[in-house]
Amino acid sequence: MLRKVRLAFAIVFLNWRYQAVKSYKKFLAPFSTLFVFLVCGSAIGQMDNRSFGHPILPAPADPQIEAAIQKISPQRIQQDITTLVGFHNRSTLSSNDTDLPKGQGVLAAADWIEAQFRAYSAACGGCLEVKRDTFTQQPGSRVKQPTVINNIYAVLRGSDPAQASRMYLVTGHYDSRDSSNEDTHGFAPGANDDASGVAVSLESARVLSKLHFPATIVFVAVAGEEQGLYGSHHLAEFAKQQGWNLEGVLNNDIVGGNTTPGDKLQNKNVVRVFSEGIPATASEQQIRMVRMLGGESDSPSRELAREIVGVDRTYFKAGAAGLNAETFHPVMEFRLDRYLRGGDHYSFNLAGFPAVRFTEWREDFHHQHQNVRVEDGTQYGDLLQFVDFHYVVHVAQLNAATLATMASAPGTPANARIIAEKLDNNTELAWDAPAGAPANTTYQIVWRDTAAPDWQFYDSVGSATRVTVPVSKDNVIFGVRSVDPAGHRSPAAFPFPSRFRTPPLSKK
């Protein structure tokens, strides 16, 4: 808005100066600058009243987190992806094969991933609980016979008993496929899709297991993705049954920074973050409220995506050391997933958990779900040579920084609401302290124009859990987030109104 107003006045001003010069009224020119400045200033003041609150600033960096993400290693990422490609074909259906050479197939890959988690755990005095979620998938459209699926995961239990039930989870899928869903013997390297995502989980586990966080982090590699998200579906249901309080799931699928020779449209400085708008589990009543309030872009998954942007601003900044000195930003995609595609984050959404998907900027579909071959001079197949390990490092750093920040911050405020009892240009907000929050937890009110994608303003309200601000709820979207003394911020909670008038059902 400010920019448009400035632009409009600049055009009027330039035109006026031109006219002034043309009519030899040059003596007016020096005064005109001052005059326009005053006019513009007062017009902007009236049109864009932001007298309350402060522009959003990045949270302070946590030196421990900064040091940890510097330890994410391009060599390790390269080794992890290379080893996974070395299993030749990681089709989930290969768990039924008895004729595979030793060291090939999905079961060999599962054993290797488990061994990695166990090695990281040994290096931190047994700090990880390494587990398997093993089950038999019954036949479906892309599973012809009962098939054993193994999800491998490692739990870094929270150090604060009051907060350890809060969990953040990072996942990638270790199964691969080529052109045929049924092929369990042909070369299906799956370097980008999705050894890259598994490498993100593994490296996050390796560097974060050296630290302690109040809340719990779960590092995961699932299978069965290519046949219909079977592994993640089972794990999400298991999490629900076990009462896991999953506050956020980061799914990394195709984060290899595909590098096709001659492709000028790939962008290695960004990663897409997909998130659902209206929650998959929203009730009819919630959907009606969301429609009335313009809350279509404030699901818990989307608030998580916004906090990923916030974490990026803290850790990928100009002047930072090492790899972080480079520009690297998440681009929020306000949709569940790409056209014609799905991913494991959706399994968690369906189970009622906030979850997002990281994917490289521009995919090359010749390098996904394809038999390795050269056809008309084009190389097909998800080969190692197209993966940019340096890019995967950046994605892993952003994931690890997000997990560490969220597991350090207090939980998201509970039961956030706008007290809407009467017509009022002020806004009264109230919320409850998140479960297990330390006594030194404080809160920030954040808000943005209804048409803005990300938070623009904030006000710190100390330890209060009820506050009135002179900003109209009719003009902005509010959120409330928790902050600890070191500045770690939780994802925001979208406040629902305490009173809600149901729209009339009949048309007028």
DSSP result, 4-58: HHHHHHHHHHHHHHHHHHHTT-GGGHHHHHHHHHHHHHHHHHHHS---SSEE--P
Residue number with CB closer to Zn ion (137 or 444): 137
Residue number with CB closer to Zn ion (62 or 337): 337
Residue 82 CA to residue 384 CA, distance in Å, equals 7
Q: Does 194 bind Zn ion (CB under 5 A)?
A: yes
Residue number with CB closer to Zn ion (193 or 298): 193
DSSP result, 462-493: TT-SEEEESS-TTTEEEEEEEE-TT--BPPPB
Only one of the segments 105-113, 188-196, 275-283, 304-312 lies at the binding site for Zn ion (rule: CB under 5 A); that segment is 188-196
Q: How far is the CB of 190 from Zn ion (least distance, A)?
A: 8
Q: How far is the CB of 375 from Zn ion (least distance, A)?
A: 22
Residue 173 CA to residue 358 CA, distance in Å, equals 13
Cα angle 194, 199, 205 (rounded to 5 degrees) comes to 135
Residue number with CB closer to Zn ion (178 or 194): 194
Residue number with CB closer to Zn ion (114 or 194): 194
Q: Reduced to 3 states, what is the DSSP secondary structure of residue 505?
A: coil
Strand 128-137 and strand 442-449: the pairing is unpaired
Q: How far is the CB of 172 from Zn ion (least distance, A)?
A: 8
Q: Which residues contact 217 (CB under 8 A, 6 or more apart)?
A: 155, 156, 167, 168, 169, 170, 204, 208, 403, 404, 407
Q: How far is the CB of 359 from Zn ion (least distance, A)?
A: 9
Residue list 119-148, contact with Zn ion (CB under 5 A): none
**Residue 165 CA to its chain's centroid (Å):** 21
Residue list 236-255, contact with Zn ion (CB under 5 A): 253
Q: Does 193 bind Zn ion (CB under 5 A)?
A: yes
Q: How far is the CB of 226 from Zn ion (least distance, A)?
A: 7
Only one of the segments 74-82, 182-190, 194-202, 332-340 lies at the binding site for Zn ion (rule: CB under 5 A); that segment is 194-202
Q: How far is the CB of 239 from Zn ion (least distance, A)?
A: 20
Q: How far is the CB of 51 from Zn ion (least distance, A)?
A: 49
271 neighbors 361 (Cβ within 8 angstroms): yes
Residue number with CB closer to Zn ion (177 or 473): 177
Residue list 253-272, contact with Zn ion (CB under 5 A): 253
Residue number with CB closer to Zn ion (253 or 360): 253
Q: How far is the CB of 253 from Zn ion (least distance, A)?
A: 4
447 neighbors 415 (Cβ within 8 angstroms): no
Reading phi first (left if > 0) and then psi (alpha if -120 to 50, else beta), residue 319 is in left
Only one of the segments 88-96, 115-123, 193-201, 489-497 lies at the binding site for Zn ion (rule: CB under 5 A); that segment is 193-201
The verdict on whether omega for the bond into residue 80 sits within 30 degrees of 0, i.e. cis, is no
Total number of residues that touch Zn ion (CB under 5 A): 3
Question: Looking at the DSSP assignment, which residues form a beta bridge with residue 239?
Answer: none
Give the residues lining the site for Zn ion (CB under 5 A): 193-194, 253
